[in-house]
């Protein structure tokens, strides 16, 4: 399944809705091209909505890290929202959960760009403890 990439704006933040697989090949290339286009257009506040992403391989992870690194170099940021349990586990195992701000709620991710707004962040420690209980 090809990676479907849709872009929308919400309260001054660019939301990129992803659906499909983030894997080696045209999917990762399309994602990298989209992020490069956003950066070229001057977009600095980005939320990646991964709600409909079925699978992420190492190339997909690399593309996520590249997106965050590229945005930060330009004074922006990339935040993640609506990750599947498997995607969260993958970020924890690879220690990439510390690279991103992760949110369960899209509005919280948007609010995180505004220091005067309240938000609830994803608690990675709570997630890891819950995983251990289930083992």
pLDDT of res. 2: 87
pLDDT of res. 122: 73
Q: What is the pLDDT of residues 24-49, one digit of tens each?
A: 999 999 999 999 999 999 999 999 99
Closest CA to 63 of 89, 102, 31: 31
Query: What is the model's pTM?
Result: 0.89
Q: Identify the three-state secondary structure at position 18.
A: strand
Q: Place 96 in a pLDDT band, splitting at 50, 70 and 90.
A: very high
Q: Is the pLDDT of residue 124 over 90?
A: no
Which tokens go with 22?
Answer: 């983030």
Which tokens go with 84?
Answer: 């599947």
Quote the DSSP letter at residue 128.
Answer: H
Quote the DSSP letter at residue 85.
Answer: H
Alpha-helix runs per DSSP H in 21-115? 26-40, 58-73, 85-93, 106-111
The superfamily in CATH containing domain 4-134 is: STAS domain (3.30.750.24)
């Amino acid at each position: 399944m090809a990676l479907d990439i849709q872009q929308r704006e919400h309260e001054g933040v660019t939301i990129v809705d992803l659906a499909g697989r983030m894997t080696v090949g045209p999917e990762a290339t399309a994602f990298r091209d989209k992020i490069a286009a956003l950066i070229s257009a001057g977009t600095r506040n980005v939320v990646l909505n991964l709600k409909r992403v079925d699978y992420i391989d190492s190339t997909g992870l690399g593309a996520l890290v590249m997106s965050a690194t590229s945005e930060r170099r330009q004074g922006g940021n990339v935040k993640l929202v609506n990750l599947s349990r498997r995607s969260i586990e993958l970020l924890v195992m690879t220690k990439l959960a510390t690279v991103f701000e992760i949110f369960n709620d899209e509005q919280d991710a948007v609010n995180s760009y505004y220091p005067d707004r309240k938000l609830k962040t994803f608690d990675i420690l709570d997630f890891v403890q819950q995983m251990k209980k289930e083992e």
